[in-house]
Structure 1
C-alpha cells in the first residue's frame, strides 16, 4: 500500500525531452515543421507569417488585416466560413502578435478534406468586405473607449510607448487610427504579407505521412506575389523622459508600471535573468508578493516579467495599489530591487525558486501542442532546441553571487521608466 504520510522523493531535472520536429521546405518557399505524437485523431495546423514593416502613418494594418482574415473571401462570407468549420467540429482562429501573425486550425484528421479548402480560400482570397470593415472599426473603437477608462491599460500603453518609442511594440492606438483603415490598403498589405515565402507552417498532433501530404498538398498551387514581403522593422530608440504621471483625482486605485529595456531570449544572459526575475516577482512566492501583498497589504497582486520580442525586450513590474499607498508601494519596490543588488539570495530561497522553475517547465509540456509551442519560442528567436538544455543547466547551477552581479548589471532603479496612473 502507498504510504501517503511520506512525501514523494524529489528528483532533479537533468534534461528536457522535447519532441524533435520533422522539416521540409516546399517549392514555393514555405517552411514546414511537424510534430507527430499521440493516438487521438486530432491535428493543429498553424500558418505563421512575419509581420510587415511597421508604418507609423498606417499603424493598425498588421493587426487589422490578420484579425479580419476570416471575415469574407471572394467565395465565402464570414458566416459561411464559420459554418463550414463549425459543421465538422473544427476551430479556426486568427491570432495577431507583435512579430508574427497566424491562422490556426484545429481539426479531426478525417475532416481535413473539408476544412483545409476553407483555409486555402482564406489565405488566398480574403477580401475584407467594406461592411465587415465598418463593423470591425465600430467595435474596436467601442472596446478602446472602455479600455481607456482602466488605469492599468493606460499605464501599459504609456510604458510601452516610452520603452519602444515609435515602433510596432510601442503602438498606442487611438480612435482616429481605426477610422483611417482603408480596404484598398488592407488588400495590398494582405497580398504582400500572406504568401508562402513568408510563411512557416507548423503541424502538430497525429501527423502521419498521409496527413502531412494532405496538408501540404492542399496548398500546392499557392504562389508568391511579385512583391516580396518586407519584414524588416525600424530600430528602437527609447525616449529620454523617465517618469510619467497621469493624475486622476477621484481614483481609488493607482496603476504602477515600471521597468526598462532588457535583452531578449537570444542573449546568453536571458536564462539567468529569468531566475532573477522569478525571485523578484515571477511567481506567487516572490519577494514583491511577500512584501507588498502579504506584509503591507497594498495590493491583491503584483508581478514582474521579461517580455522577449524579436527586435527588443523589456523588464517590467506591474501592479495596482490603493491610491493612498501608491508612493509607499513605489518605495517598497525600490527597496526590493536594491536588496537584490546589495545582498546575496539565501540558499533556501534560491533552491525553492530553482525547483519551482524546473517544475513549471516540465509541467508546461503536457501534450504535443506544448512541444510545438516550445519550438516556436526558439525558432522565431533564431535559436535551436539546445536552448532548453542551456536554460535548465543555468537554473540548476546559477549561484547567488552570479544573480547579485546580474542585478547590479541590469536592474538600476534610477534608470527605470516609471509610470503612475491615478494618485501619487
Structure 2
C-alpha cells in the first residue's frame, strides 16, 4: 500500500528530522583568459567542459542621444543576422544549424547584445558567422521592411500592457529625457526607419573598442582567444562604442500617480538609489534585499500576498547601470486595495530599517543567495550570461567566483546597517499607475502626488 508524503515524513516518535544542508561550494577550478585584443575588444574565455558545447555572449555599448536612435537600433538588432554579402538569411541559419548552433540579437538603451551557442567543434563556424554579421551585414531593404512590420505590431501590443506603461512611467519619473528611458521606441518612429538609416547606424555604432565577448564551454581558453582574434581581426575602428551618459542621482520624493482610466488593477513601482557590486556594503545589502522582497519567503510577499491577499506577485530587486545602481520594488494590486498595499509596503520598509533581521533570517537568505548564485553558474550558459553582465561593469570571473565567500562573511550587524541605510521609506520615490478616481484613498497616506 502506498504512503502519503506526510506519512513518509513522520516516524512513531514524531516528524522525521531533515538532514543538515551540505556545504555549498563554488567552482574554483575554472581556467580562464581575460584579455583585450588589438581592436579594443575585451575577450573573456572560460573552460567549462560539462557538455561538448560552447556559449558566446557579445555586448556592444550602444547608446544614442538622438530621439530616433532607439527605433533604428531595434530594426538593426532584428536584421543584423538576416544576411551579409557572403550569406543570405538561409545561409546564416543553415551554417549555424550544421554545427548545432544558433545566434540571436537584442538591443536596449545601453547595449547591443548578440548571443548563442554551438557544438564545441563548431566554435570556429559560429565565430565566422558572427564576424561576418558584425562587419558585413547588409540590412537588405526587404528584410528591414519585414522586420519593421513585425516590430510595429509587437510594440503596439507591448505599449498597451499595464506593466510596460508602469515601467515607462517610472523611467520618465526617475530620469526625465535621459536616453536610458527609451526602452521601447514609438511605433511611428519605427515606421519611419529606412534601410539606409540602419546601415548608417551599423557603420557608426557597431564597434569593437569597449565591447566584450564572453566564451564559455568545452574550449581551451587561450586557443579560444586566438580563434576570436583571428576571426574578428577585420572588425576594427579607431572610435569606441558609445556608452550611456551618467545617470542623475535619484532624489527621494512623492510617488507620482499616473492616470489609466478604467483600470481594475494598479501598478506600484518604488525606487531608491543603491550601490554597485564593488561597494564593500553590497553583500550585506543583497541579503537585506532578499529578506525584504527578493524571494518567495520574503517579508513583503508574506505580508501583502500570503497574509493580506492584496497581490499575486511582489518583489524587490537591484538594477545595475554602468555607473551606479538602484533598488526597485514592484507589485500589482486590485485598484480598491492599492492604498492598503502601499501602506503595508511602507510599514515593511520601516520595520526592516528600524529592526534589522534576526540571525536566523540572515542565515536563511545567505543560504538562498549562495545557492542561487551557484545554481545559476552551474551551466555554461549561466556562467556566460553572468560574466557578460559583470563584464560591462568592468568585473570578471574573479568577482563571480569570490562572491560566495563575501556572502558568507556578512554579519547580522552589517545586514542591519544596510537595511537602515538603504530601506528607510523616505529614501524612495516612484509611480502608481491606475484609475485616479479609485486611487483617491492614497491622498490620506501622504507622499503621493496626483495629476492636475
What is residue 218 of structure 1 aligned with on the other side?
A: 231
Match of 1:349 among 361, 365, 371: 361
1:258-293 deviations in whole A, cap 9, x for unaligned? 112322223332222111110110000000110000
- Measured in 1, the distance between the counterparts of 2:37 and 2:380 equals 23
What is residue 4 of structure 2 aligned with on the other side?
A: none
Match of 1:292 among 295, 304, 311: 304
* Correspondences of 1:11-410 after superposition (within 5 Å): 11-13=22-24, 17=28, 19-38=30-49, 40-112=51-123, 114-172=125-183, 173-208=185-220, 213-220=226-233, 222-225=234-237, 228-237=239-248, 242-388=254-400, 391-410=403-422
Decide whether aligned partners of structure 1 residues 216 and 230 sit closer, same or farther in structure 2, where only a CA change above 3 A counts: closer
1:382-418 deviations in whole A, cap 9, x for unaligned? 2354434664344334344433332332233234223
Aligned length: 420
- What is the Cα deviation at residue 244 of structure 1? 2.4
- What is the Cα deviation at residue 307 of structure 1? 0.6
Q: CA RMSD in A?
A: 2.8
So what's the TM-score if we normalise by structure 1? 0.88
- Measured in 2, the distance between the counterparts of 1:301 and 1:233 equals 32
Match of 1:9 among 20, 39, 43: 20
- Measured in 1, the distance between the counterparts of 2:182 and 2:249 equals 13
Decide whether aligned partners of structure 1 residues 178 and 261 sit closer, same or farther in structure 2, where only a CA change above 3 A counts: farther
Decide whether aligned partners of structure 1 residues 210 and 343 sit closer, same or farther in structure 2, where only a CA change above 3 A counts: closer
- What is the Cα deviation at residue 204 of structure 1? 1.5
- Measured in 2, the distance between the counterparts of 1:187 and 1:24 equals 30
More moved, 356-365 vs 9-18 = 9-18
- Measured in 1, the distance between the counterparts of 2:349 and 2:417 equals 13
Decide whether aligned partners of structure 1 residues 89 and 401 sit closer, same or farther in structure 2, where only a CA change above 3 A counts: closer
- Measured in 1, the distance between the counterparts of 2:86 and 2:402 equals 49
Decide whether aligned partners of structure 1 residues 11 and 243 sit closer, same or farther in structure 2, where only a CA change above 3 A counts: same
User: What are the ranges of 5 or more consecutive residues in structure 1 without an aligned counterpart?
Assistant: none
1:100-128 deviations in whole A, cap 9, x for unaligned? 32322422233345544332321111122
Decide whether aligned partners of structure 1 residues 93 and 212 sit closer, same or farther in structure 2, where only a CA change above 3 A counts: same
- Measured in 2, the distance between the counterparts of 1:154 and 1:18 equals 45
What is residue 450 of structure 2 aligned with on the other side?
A: none
More moved, 203-212 vs 351-360 = 203-212
CA contact (8 A) 1:85 1:91 kept: yes
- What is the Cα deviation at residue 91 of structure 1? 0.9
- What is the Cα deviation at residue 207 of structure 1? 0.8
- What is the Cα deviation at residue 142 of structure 1? 1.7
CA contact (8 A) 1:281 1:289 kept: yes
CA contact (8 A) 2:43 2:225 kept: no
- Measured in 2, the distance between the counterparts of 1:171 and 1:256 equals 20
Decide whether aligned partners of structure 1 residues 239 and 14 sit closer, same or farther in structure 2, where only a CA change above 3 A counts: closer
- What is the Cα deviation at residue 190 of structure 1? 1.3
CA contact (8 A) 2:175 2:248 kept: yes
User: What are the ranges of 5 or more consecutive residues in structure 2 without an aligned counterpart?
Assistant: 1-7, 10-15, 440-452
- Measured in 2, the distance between the counterparts of 1:216 and 1:249 equals 56
- Measured in 1, the distance between the counterparts of 2:243 and 2:107 equals 17
- What is the Cα deviation at residue 53 of structure 1? 4.2
